[in-house]
Structure 1
Amino acid sequence: MSKVKYYYDPDTLSYRKIERKKRRTVKYISLFLLASALFAFLFVFIASQYIESPREKGLRHELQNAQLQLELLNKKMDETEVVLANIAERDNNIYRLYFEANPIPEEQRKAGFGGINRYKDLEGFDNSKLIIETHKRLDQIQKQIVVQSKSLDEITKLAEEKEKLLTAIPAIQPVNNEDLTRMASGYGIRTDPFTKVRKMHWGMDFTAPRGTPVYASGDGVVERADNGAAGYGNHVRINHGYGYVSLYAHLYKYNVRKNQKVKRGDIIGFVGSTGRSEAPHLHYEIFKDDQRINPINFYYGSLSAEEFNKLLEHASLENQSLD
């Protein structure tokens, strides 16, 4: 119950009751409410500027965490770029060099992306620079990985081809050292055993007892196995691919046929003295791109350094050939 207030009226010399006008009451109430609302607005405004809400605090932590993760990601990309640079160096200077492939230029490995701005949607934020730079580095690393992956695929194919080449090239002596009587004659100018005229001897003669095994010096396909070539008697020709052909002449007999695939070390025939031959021996020749070359350079797969030097010494003697 509200208190009743009085005032003293000197005219009547009595106390009169104070009557509050409704209009004034409404005015006071309105002013109070307006002041309260203004105070509340100022409080909220000031609080919003200096006091974080739980949601804002959570968002701020998320932003800080995102920045930290981006920084960590950039550090990992630094490490990845170092590894990629090391792989690229080995790729260019070891792998591609060994397999005789052209190195990949640096500008091709690290080329950027042309055309429209790929990162326009990432602009306009507080951390746009960091985000865009991170995306650029990721895209560039991804491209480097693609380039390197294609290069390694190419190297794999070259390695497979190189392996085929290494198994195909004539690389062993066609007669075992233990079976040899001697190395009779080498590649070069020699005295013909029948005419006694000095002429070019296009192969190497290995003397061994009749029936001594003769081995294929590399993988290939038998091109000929017959006695139809003048002077060679029973002979075998093996096409090794890559321009290489080996010939084995004066055989006692052969045990391969035309178009048969052979492997290095397979027995293809036996030492004899057929055709234009003075004594049992194997006449051995190597062709590269249809040109006869010195077989002395193709025994790295079966001889030690000492055995090779001894063979080289005998082969260089200008003696009489056996065919």
Structure 2
Amino acid sequence: MPDKIRISVSHNKGTRLFAISQRRKKLVILSLVLGVSSFALSGFGLHYFYQQQEVAKIAIAELQNKNNELNQLIVDNNNSNHELTQQLEAKENELLVISQRVDDVESVLGLQEISEEDSSLAEKTLEQRLDVAAIDSAVRATMFRLIPNDTPLHYTRESSSFGRRTNPISGKRQRHLGIDLTCKRGTEIYAPADGVVELARSSNKGYGNLLKVQHSFGFMTMYAHLQKFKVRSGQFVKKGELIATCGNSGNSTGPHLHYEVRFLGRVLNPRSFMDWTPEKFDSLFEKERSVKWTPLVDVINNVVKLQLKLTQKPTVEQVEAINTAKAEDESSQQLTQ
């Protein structure tokens, strides 16, 4: 066997001979073997990583499916929580009505629910129920001060009215206990009448940040999905005072105010009170006939008369009677000394 490998290369200038020794021959063969092995290993590695990538893709797809299922469960649970929260609020209001002894208060003021026997009351004219013309300006001013009226904020539109509606979250038909007013986040909300803050509760569920204000003669207003409170529980507020700002807390699809008006726990249409103005003084009495306004106006009239008596100057006879009483008191003191 020759010790060398001879390679001849021919070109235009002649032929050149190259000689490769046996040692170099082994190195060349070894290099070729190593190259082929490296290529094979690289191919195997690439195939292995490709298979692992496919397995990872399948695992990711399964995780995404599970994530979608969990998200759907969360949505379903949120809808259920929203319904349960509303039911809980309704039960709390029922308990509040019971605790306030509604029947006793209504029997005193003559403010019972309309029964079938006197359902014909709805057909009577306003003059038969309440003599609006006889109500003087002082009584009217007092009513607008103490009973909720006008709009509590500057809103964009009425997104949901009072009564039956399709719930935007659950998609079910149910009774809407108030009115939804869309507004920009942070829009200021003002008290529609004098009152005292009964509740200022922070929450990220149901009604969200919730505020309740008790007004005179059994009226109450409620404000839900608020951003911030500007008052605290137990604080007295005046009509037109800043009480909160509009937000999107709780179960809400966008910034809005859920506004309710109640009388002795019973929900009334807030629109009737929002439209009640001095120019439309009789509108509230025509729309909210479940409230017997006549005895309520009589109570307010008596309060106004008492205020007028307290602010009037005493008559000559009253001054003389006071002086006589003082003189008799001084005489009795001197006799005892």
TM class by smaller structure: 0.3 to 0.5
Structure 1 or 2: more helix by fraction: 2
Larger Rg: 1
The two structures have a TM-score, normalised by structure 2, of: 0.41
The two structures have a TM-score, normalised by structure 1, of: 0.42
